[in-house]
Amino acid sequence: MSHGQATIERGFSINKLLVVENQQEQSLVARRVFKDHILHVKDVTHINITHAVVLAARSARSKYTHYLTQKKQQQEKEKQDKKRKAETDAVRELEDKRKH
């Protein structure tokens, strides 16, 4: 393996270590960002915890709840659209049968 590929292969190894069963892609990306930052600053004790970081941590749950609400609304809309399409298709099929 060339040295040019070593960094990429190491990245795959780190991703494999970070993956948890049933983990969503966004969670993996977030974990990887944290891991990369910790490696960049050399140690967990060198991380600056700013006011913005504290605010982000405080609002994380509400952002997640908002995300879940939006996802549920989108699923409901898709469900209604499928139902409406099925009804429209059934009406068209009946009209076609009546014409013939």
Q: How far is 100 from 95, CA to CA, in rounded Å?
A: 9
Query: Is there a single domain that holds both residue 40 and residue 81?
Result: no
Q: Which two tokens stand for residue 30?
A: 């977030």
52 inside domain = no
pTM above 0.85, yes or no: no
53 inside domain = no
Q: How far is 43 from 18, CA to CA, in rounded Å?
A: 18
Residue 56 has what pLDDT? Answer: 87
54 inside domain = no
More confident residue, 20 or 56: 56
Q: Is residue 22 over pLDDT 70?
A: no
3 inside domain = yes
Query: Is there a single domain that holds both residue 4 and residue 38?
Result: yes
94 inside domain = yes
pLDDT, tens digit, 9 for 90 and up, residues 37-61: 888 888 888 888 889 989 988 998 9
- The residue segments making up the domain with residue 19 are 1-47
Query: Is there a single domain that holds both residue 39 and residue 7?
Result: yes
Segment 75-85 shows an average pLDDT of 95
Q: Is residue 25 over pLDDT 80?
A: no
Cα 18 to its chain centre, rounded Å, is 15
Quick check: 39 and 17 in contact, CB under 8 A? no
What is the tally of structural domains in the chain?
A: 2
55 inside domain = no
Quick check: 58 and 64 in contact, CB under 8 A? no
Q: How far is 70 from 47, CA to CA, in rounded Å?
A: 33
